[in-house]
Chains A and B, each alone.
Chain A
Amino acid sequence: MAGELAFEQPLVELRKKIDELKQFGQEKGIDFGEEIARLEERHAQLQEEIYNNVSPAQKMHLARHHQRPTTLDLLPYIFTDFVELHGDRMFGDDMAIVGGLARFGERPVTVIGHQRGKDTKENIARFFGSPHPEGYRKAQRLMRQAEKFGRPIITFIDTKGAYPGNTAEERGQSEAIARSMLDMAMLKVPVICIVIGEGGSGGAIALGLGNRVLMLENAIYSVISPNGAASILWKDASKADQAAEAMKITAADLLEFEVIEEIIPEPKGGAHRDYEATGLAIRDVLERQLGEIGGLSAETLISERYEKFRKIGRFASDAILPNS
Chain B
Amino acid sequence: MFKDLFQKKRKYATLPSDRSAANGEAEAPQRPKREIPEGLMHKCSKCGAIQYSKELEKNLKVCPSCGHHMRLGAPERIAMTLDEGSFVEHDADLISVDPLGFPGYAGKLEEQKLKSGLRDAVVTGEGAILGLPVAVAVMSFDFFSGSMGSVVGEKITRIIEHAGKYDLPLIIFSTSGGARMQESILSLMQMAKTSAALGHFADKGGLYLSVITDPTMGGVSASFAMLGDIIIAEPGAMFGFAGRIVIEQTIRQKLPEDFQTAEFNMQHGQLDLVVHRKEMKAMLGKLVGMHSKKGEL
Contact = CB atoms under 8 A, between A and B. Distances in A.
Contact of B192 (A173, A186, A248, A309): A309
A185 interface: yes
Contact of B222 (A178, A183, A253): A178
A173 B242 contact: yes
A253 B246 CA distance: 28
Nearest to B101: A246
Q: Which of A208, A209, A249, A305 has the most CB of B within 10 A?
A: A209
A323 to B, nearest CB: 5
B226 A259 contact: no
Given A315-B150, A324-B91, A178 B223 contact: yes
A202 B189 contact: no
B269 A309 contact: no
B4 interface: no
A149 to B, nearest CB: 21
Interface string B84-115: 00000111111111011011100000000000
B93 to A, nearest CB: 5
B199 A317 contact: no
Interface string A163-191: 11110111111110111011101100000
A162 B188 CA distance: 14
Interface residues of A, number: 59
Contacts of A246: 100, 102-103
Contacts of B104: 233
Nearest to B102: A246
A247 B98 CA distance: 12
Contacts of A320: 93
Given A309-B196, A315-B154, A169 B25 contact: no
A201 B188 contact: yes
B140 interface: no
A321 to B, nearest CB: 5
Contacts of A205: 188-189, 191-192
B294 to A, nearest CB: 27
Contacts of B184: 222-224, 247-249
B128 interface: no
Interface stretch (B33-41, B55-63, B247-255, B279-287): B247-255
Contacts of B180: 223
Nearest to A314: B99
B74 interface: no
A316 interface: yes
Contacts of B225: 174, 178
Interface in B124-181: 150-151, 153-154, 157, 179-181
A306 interface: yes
A194 interface: no
B189 A309 contact: yes
A249 B202 CA distance: 33
Contacts of B250: 163-165
B192 A315 contact: no
Contacts of B227: 178-179, 182
Contacts of A173: 222, 240-242
B203 interface: yes
Given A310-B157, A318-B119, A324-B91, A233 B247 contact: no
A313 B153 CA distance: 8
Contacts of B213: none
Q: Which of A162, A249, A313, A316 has the most CB of B within 10 A?
A: A313
B24 interface: yes
B153 A209 contact: no
B219 A223 contact: yes
B195 A181 contact: yes
B185 A169 contact: no
A315 B97 contact: yes
A132 B294 CA distance: 42
A319 interface: yes
Given A162-B241, A202-B241, A317-B94, A186 B203 contact: yes
A248 B185 contact: yes
A178 B93 contact: no
Contacts of A165: 242, 247, 250-251
A312 interface: yes
Nearest to A202: B222
A139 interface: no
Nearest to A223: B188
Contacts of B92: 321, 323
Interface in A261-316: 305-306, 309-310, 312-316
Task: In the A-B complex, list the 5 residue pairs whose CB atoms are closest, starting with the nearest.
Answer: A164-B242, A313-B150, A185-B196, A181-B195, A314-B99
6 contacts: A172-B226, A172-B268, A179-B227, A201-B188, A223-B185, A314-B186
